[in-house]
Structure 1
Amino acid sequence: MGSVVRWAIGAAAILVVASAVYFAYNFGMLRFNNPSQSHYPIQGIDVSHHQGAIDWKTVAAQPNVRFAIMKATEGGDHKDSRFADNWQRAGDAGLVRGAYHFFTFCRPGRDQAQNVLATVPKEPGTLPIAVDLEFVGNCNKVPTLEEMTTEVNAFFDELKGVFPEKPIFYVTQEFFDQYLKGNEARFPEHYLWLRSVFKEPAQQGCSRWSIWQFADNGTLDGIRGAVDLNALCPSETGFAHLFPAVAAK
């Protein structure tokens, strides 16, 4: 009986600790990564309608927010309800802006590109178009490599007349391993925006990634609730013209 009681107490203790860690992480009190501004001087956020109304002047006043990438579109017809407001107000606040499209596996790439073209303004001094490529939140279809490359290439072929710049690919490790790894040449040339919330990306000297999403539970003045936090690779020169004050240091 004694061993059973000790087992039960131990299991309960583990559950309490696990619950405390989950609570702390979920409410932004615990982060696995906290890159310093001395090592990563250009940091920023990505947002969507989930963040609600954002006080962009307050957000922009914080030294660890230099850029904001905001959701614009999804699939062939969905437009983020906060995009137009976020785009205008973030620009007015002096932040470098970027727009991203959530790529669904169940609509042709050209249809999705038309949605982007109808929604995202072409303005100087902004980040290239980003495309969110992941399984989470997507439809149930799992394309073959051939299907994926065909539709992603069709998407950017349609965009390049208005947005000719090298795009940004936001990918999870799962998507990277299934489609991109070893097949980069089959996709359009791109900057890599890598999600890695548990550890710093292992790629030496940022040679394979440009933006690192290091947390999805950040807290900032001016935003209610959690927000995704990102850092620009210190050796990334493709965006240097957008951050001249930092690049000149």
Structure 2
Amino acid sequence: MGKKKKSVFRFWIEAMLLLALVGTGGFLWWQRQSWAPPRAQFPMQGVVTGAADGVIDISALRTARADFVYLEASSGENGRDEVFGRNLAALADTGIPHGAVHTYDPCIPAERQAANFVTTVPRDPTLLPPAIALDKPASACGDPVIDAALESELTTFINQVEGHAGQPVVLKVSEAFEETYAIASRIERNLWLENDWLQPDYAGRPWTLWTANAQLSNPANGAKMRWVVVQQ
């Protein structure tokens, strides 16, 4: 093959590869913006939201067909989501089921975190089961005693939150946390797992809630939503 023919051939190969990459990138962009699990398989779908997402727009939620909402409420000993109160008020009387999320900090004693939760989240039997977000490892605290006592402290926190809420909590467990502590096999509660687009299996048992797309675009206003589905 002559040099000219080789050059033309190489040009077309590179052009086709470029088109393939552009096509793949376009598909992934569309996937991130638009994909949600089929309603036929998962009829109940909703969102988790907090201060980073701004105050809830009820009309936009209805356009997105959100069946429920979880609100980030508290974290650690003193953390309180700055829009939790307004979001809670906005959801009142809408008929949209909603609940609260506490982000657990293993470096803080359970009793102090529970006090934060119960003063932030009202005792309301109509709320969805409270969710406990587990992501930060106890190894980050720099104290081996805290690491060894993680399960005991977490159990204490769960018991106090359940006493306040009057119902079992949901464990919102990150993959990294589960890999380190295997908490799903040690504390028997409903699980909330996370994995964009593909059903998560890292807990070794079925999940109840799944964050299926953390970047779904709301059709009403284009805002990003962390989209969650229920397995019934």
Distance (whole Å) between structure 1 residues aligned to residue 24 and residue 147 of structure 2 = 38
Give 1:170 shift: 0.5
Give 1:153 shift: 1.1
Question: What RMSD in Å do the two structures reach over aligned CA positions?
Answer: 3.4
222-231 vs 86-95, which deviates more? 222-231
Q: Which position in structure 2 is the counterpart of 1:215?
A: 213
Q: Which position in structure 2 is the counterpart of 1:196?
A: 195
Q: Which position in structure 2 is the counterpart of 1:36?
A: 38
Give 1:224 shift: 5.6
Contact 2:215/2:224 (<8 A) preserved: yes
Q: Which position in structure 2 is the counterpart of 1:147?
A: 149
Distance (whole Å) between structure 2 residues aligned to residue 22 and residue 36 of structure 1 = 18
Identity of aligned residues (%): 22
SS in structure 2 of the partner of residue 140 of structure 1? helix
Query: Where do residues 2-151 of structure 1 align in structure 2 (5 Å cutoff)?
Result: 13=18, 24=30, 28-29=33-34, 31=35, 34-60=36-62, 62=64, 64-135=65-136, 140-141=140-141, 146-151=148-153
Contact 1:57/1:93 (<8 A) preserved: no
Q: How does the TM-score come out when normalised to structure 2?
A: 0.79
- 1:230 aligned onto 2:231: no
Give 1:200 shift: 2.0
Q: How does the TM-score come out when normalised to structure 1?
A: 0.74
For 2:189, the aligned partner's letter is H
Cα offsets for 1:11-40 (capped at 9, x unmatched)? x948766765675566x25x4xx3111111
Superposition misfits of 4+ residues, deviation over 4 angstroms: 14-26, 142-145, 221-224
For 2:52, the aligned partner's letter is H
SS in structure 2 of the partner of residue 209 of structure 1? coil
SS in structure 1 of the partner of residue 120 of structure 2? coil
Contact 1:60/1:93 (<8 A) preserved: no
Contact 1:59/1:223 (<8 A) preserved: no
Pairs aligned (count): 221
Contact 1:60/1:94 (<8 A) preserved: no
For 2:44, the aligned partner's letter is I
Contact 1:91/1:97 (<8 A) preserved: no
| Structure 2 CA distance for partners of 1:198 and 1:221, relative to 1, 3 Å | closer
Q: Which position in structure 2 is the counterpart of 1:240?
A: none
Give 1:211 shift: 0.9
- 1:179 aligned onto 2:181: yes
SS in structure 2 of the partner of residue 160 of structure 1? helix
Larger helix proportion, structure 1 or 2? 2
Structure 2 unaligned spans of 5+: 1-5
Q: Which position in structure 1 is the counterpart of 2:3?
A: none
Give 1:80 shift: 0.2
SS in structure 2 of the partner of residue 165 of structure 1? coil
